[in-house]
Amino acid sequence: MRLLVVGERGREVAEACAIAAGRGIEVRHRPRIEDAIAELREGRGADLLLVDVRRDVAAVVQSLASERIWLPVVAYGIDAEPRAAAAAIRAGAKDFLPLPPDPELIAALIASIAGDPRDPIGEDPAMRAVLDLARQYAPAEASVLITGESGTGKEVVARFVHRHSRRANGPFVSVNCAAIPENLLESELFGHERGAFTGAVARRLGKFEEASGGTLLLDEISEMEPRLQAKLLRAIQEREIDRLGGSRPVQVDIRLIATSNRDLQQEVARGTFREDLYFRLNVLGLHLPPLRERPRDIVALARHFAVRFAKLNGLAERDLSEQAIARLLGHSWRGNVRELENCMHRAVLLARGPTIGPEAIVLAPGAPPPARQPAAPAAATLVGRTIAEVERDLILDTLRHTLGNRTHAAAILGISIRTLRNKLKQFLEEGLPVPPPANEAAAQAEESEPC
């Protein structure tokens, strides 16, 4: 990862840079934003721009946008007031880093912006097989196509391939093809000369030149328009690109990795993706299984995220309780690792007590209920049971899972809290044992609210 710092180089800033460098980050420092922009134009790219909060953060963000430079900005301040940090966020900064620096906070911030620099977590056999294949592919120069559902960690695996390749000491440059409009993506990839279009006030080197000697990742390449696909195909075949407004081709030396959450063969059949480009990209292929097909990774990833977000928020590290683990394993994880990451961030903030309990595992509203864990062998089959009996047991099991929390149980079941309360009232009238509300306030609210 490459970090570009803009501001005065005082003791606290130098200390923060040393901490980042000690974690394998390439750090550059420039006192003026004009100098930093000039470097970025000339292909000396960065993955994160760290700007002194006393600078005009809004002007920095605007300058990057006008230059078509897609780069996250984080403000930093030495004993800065909360008001200054909030103003920087409103101006467009992604986050704020207080100084004097805390090593773990810097590590967590870098990880949240650029991804975890460590190898992917893969304890499940399905994921281990993918990583073993990725290690075999890494030393080659051939293009790699990584496919899988959204949130499975395709960019993480791409970085893994780069780190284990012969280009590991070169740059790793990532372009999200889905996030950049088509009319800007061409300039982002291939660069432009001064005057090539309205607003092109200076020459700008594109991502192909920036990644020369290293790896270029084209994330979600299926979103690229056919016209650009043709230009990309030529760049791969000829190992040269044409800047917008340029008069001669420019030689580039890159290893290309592409990712897609779509089936590119189906896109070829539909006519939305070039067949010749597909075969150029898919010399070496990796398919990442969804999280629901790699259950052993769920707990390992959850614990990893729990540690990371505890450090990021200055909280004590806590392990997951058995009930919390059961709840995580029962969820379908349609959003894959990204959904689990968000879930664990919430859990770290909501947890009370010595462990992260099931009450802190708040799943997204409307999510399908967890796979039901039978309490006894007799419940292992649904044959011979009425729908009412199955519904009753599912509701009560879910309520026990949430330790009596009606709101969480309703969210898991995908029903309204009013519907849940009506069902519970019915069960009580039938003489069935119903778990009590999670706390006294909830019990009073339940008694006072009409069903």
Instruction: Parse the chain into domains and list their residue ranges.
Output: 2-114, 125-287, 293-364, 379-451
3.30.70.890, 1.10.8.60, 2.60.120.260, 3.40.50.300: CATH of 293-364: 1.10.8.60
In the prediction, which pLDDT does 324 show? 94
3.20.20.10, 1.10.10.60, 3.40.630.30, 3.40.50.620: CATH of 379-451: 1.10.10.60
Retrieve residue 248's tokens: 């001669």
In the prediction, which pLDDT does 149 show? 95
3 state DSSP class of 395: helix
Retrieve residue 283's tokens: 């010399």
In the prediction, which pLDDT does 379 show? 39
In the prediction, which pLDDT does 219 show? 95
- φ, ψ for residue 447 (rounded to 5)? -70, -35
Q: How many residues does the chain have?
A: 451
DSSP states of 315-367: ----PBPHHHHHHHHTS--TTHHHHHHHHHHHHHHH--SSSB-GGG--PPTTP
Block residue for tokens 């399908």: 368
3 state DSSP class of 131: helix
In the prediction, which pLDDT does 159 show? 93
3.40.50.150, 3.40.50.11540, 2.60.40.10, 3.40.50.2300: CATH of 2-114: 3.40.50.2300
In the prediction, which pLDDT does 367 show? 45
Block residue for tokens 């002194």: 52
In the prediction, which pLDDT does 292 show? 93
Please list the pLDDT of the chain residue by residue as tens digits (451 residues): 788 999 888 888 888 888 888 877 889 999 898 889 888 888 788 888 999 998 999 999 888 887 778 788 999 988 767 788 888 888 888 888 888 877 777 777 766 665 555 678 899 999 999 999 999 999 999 999 999 999 999 999 999 999 999 999 899 999 999 888 877 898 889 988 888 887 777 888 889 999 999 999 999 999 999 889 999 999 999 999 999 888 899 999 999 999 999 999 999 999 999 999 999 999 999 999 999 999 999 999 999 999 988 887 778 899 999 999 999 999 999 999 999 998 999 899 888 889 999 999 988 654 444 444 443 343 345 556 677 777 888 888 778 767 677 877 776 777 877 888 889 989 888 888 888 775 444 444 444 444 4
